[in-house]
Amino acid sequence: MKFIVYNVRDDEIPFIEKWGKDHKIEVKYTTTTLTQETVQEAAGFDGVSCLQTIPYSKELFDAFNKMGIKYLSLRNVGVDNVDLAAAKGNGVQITNVPAYSPESIAEFAVTMALYLSRRVGYMKQQLDQNHQFHFSPNFMGRLISDQTVGIIGTGRIGREAIKLFKGLGANVIAYDKYPQKSTNGQFVYVKDLADIYTKSDIISIHMPATDDNYHQFNHEVFEQMKDTALLINTARGSIVDTNDLMYALQSGEIAGAGIDTIEAETADLQDSRSTKQVSDPDVLKFSMMPNVLITPHSAFHTSESVRNMIDISLSNLMTMVNGEKPKDLVN
């Protein structure tokens, strides 16, 4: 039994090596992005582990079939970039890691909300541009405890975010197509998304990307939101229309945004060794706006998350190769 791990970052290597040693299984790792052109590196291996936001295409799974590879274990939650029909058609079983560290992403969402609520971007802009600090009306922030936070998606990550926002004293409301049976008194479900849009001072997105929520946050929604509202997206870029968000921020339809994920993320984003300068015009525009905090899809990135992603992904591969059904099977 031997596995290959694609798109490996430097911080993952110690955990990969430890897992292989502990389980006495050969594990090769590569920084290469997994595509139909690079899949040949997996020749002779029993299973593949991968982490990327670019597509896993039909052509890739066709190549898996020709090479006799039947197992792909993702090191992340989302599968919206996976051609699941093509995987099934080629007999490829896929697992994910549905809960590598909900706390990590929830904490980051709250961090973004605090940064924006306390207008840190405006302070930083003054220092960067004028090389001086002095009190300014632009610096006056708001307490989280004075705000209503709307959580969209009350799965593992959403519930952790609720706990943290509630701990800071926020009034929390939430929406989910499939609500939890109990809220433990921490929040109140609303029946309509419009209530989230119109009543929230901060909206934090914690739902997977689906065809139904593509560009869910668009011009019409931004018009419904308070002009003092903040939007936090640590979920998936496709949920927010980038052009409409840019207009909403520039025109004052909303007050600010925390953007950890954006549409059309490239493979370079997952390459921890890349020295390329950012060239995406939208990313550059957002980065220069004091009412925006944009980060490189790193909300998950803590030592606990990385360890869990590796351990669970490789253990899922071992389970499948042993002919057993893993609990994290996607298809």
Is 236 labeled as catalytic in the residue annotation? yes
The pLDDT of residue 95: 98
pLDDT tens per residue, range 44-56 = 999 999 999 889 9
Catalytic option among 297, 301, 304, 324: 297
Does the structure show a pLDDT above 90 at 89? yes
pLDDT tens per residue, range 214-257 = 999 999 999 999 999 999 999 999 999 999 999 999 999 999 99
> In order of start, what are the domains of the chain with their CATH numbers?
2-100+302-321 (3.40.50.720), 102-294 (3.40.50.720)
Catalytic option among 12, 160, 253, 265: 265
Catalytic option among 236, 253, 263, 301: 236
Contact 100, 130 (CB under 8 A): no
Average pLDDT of the segment spanning 77-93: 95
- Residue 173 identity: I
Is 301 labeled as catalytic in the residue annotation? no
pTM recorded for the entire structure: 0.85
How far is residue 207's CA from residue 155's CA, in Å, rounded to a whole number? 8
Contact 90, 69 (CB under 8 A): no
